[in-house]
Amino acid sequence: MSIEKENFLRTRLITYLQQLDPATQPKWGKMNVQQMIEHYAGDAVRNASGRLKTDKILTPAENLERMREFMMSDKPFKENTINPLMGEEPVPLRYNTIQAAIGALQLEVIYFFEAFEKNPQLITRNPFFGDLNFEQSVQLLYKHALHHLRQFGVEPVTA
């Protein structure tokens, strides 16, 4: 387990997002900064904590091991990676301000860590990577966060 990746999610991610100009245009994709934050909090972090449940694994069983190897690697997600669970256009904003979206993300990150502290054996189902434990979930959230920060021109010092 990489404590640096865990610490990044607990503390540094929010700092990067707070410093990001909401008017920054994406290098790829259609989401603006607030839509990206809401997607990450509402989809990725809520799924990893078990609050957003999914029954299906969309990846064919014969490809799951290869997908997990990629997930656990340091290889970044490709720009314009298609998420078949997302529509052609970003969903409407859930929050009135970017500060409120960041606050909601902070709460979701806290909930994620508390869920695994209460139940270290917790397994959550990701629709693309299958059933994940804490270490795998941290890795995926970290990789996903870096992808979206790079989408808006932020190159964080990585773990």
What per-residue confidence (pLDDT) applies to 159? 52
Q: Residue 118: CB partners within 8 Å, gap ≥ 6?
A: none
pTM listed for this prediction = 0.94
Confidence of residue 2 (pLDDT cuts 50, 70, 90): confident
Mind listing the pLDDT tens digit for each residue in 16-39? Answer: 999 999 999 999 999 999 999 999
Paired residues of 126 in beta bridges:
130
> How many angstroms separate the CA atoms of 19 and 120, rounded?
33
Confidence of residue 86 (pLDDT cuts 50, 70, 90): confident
Mean pLDDT score, 145-152: 97
Tokens of 2: 């990489």
Mean pLDDT score, 135-156: 96
> How many angstroms separate the CA atoms of 113 and 121, rounded?
13
> How many angstroms separate the CA atoms of 76 and 79, rounded?
9
Mean pLDDT score, 121-148: 98
What per-residue confidence (pLDDT) applies to 82? 79
Confidence of residue 158 (pLDDT cuts 50, 70, 90): low
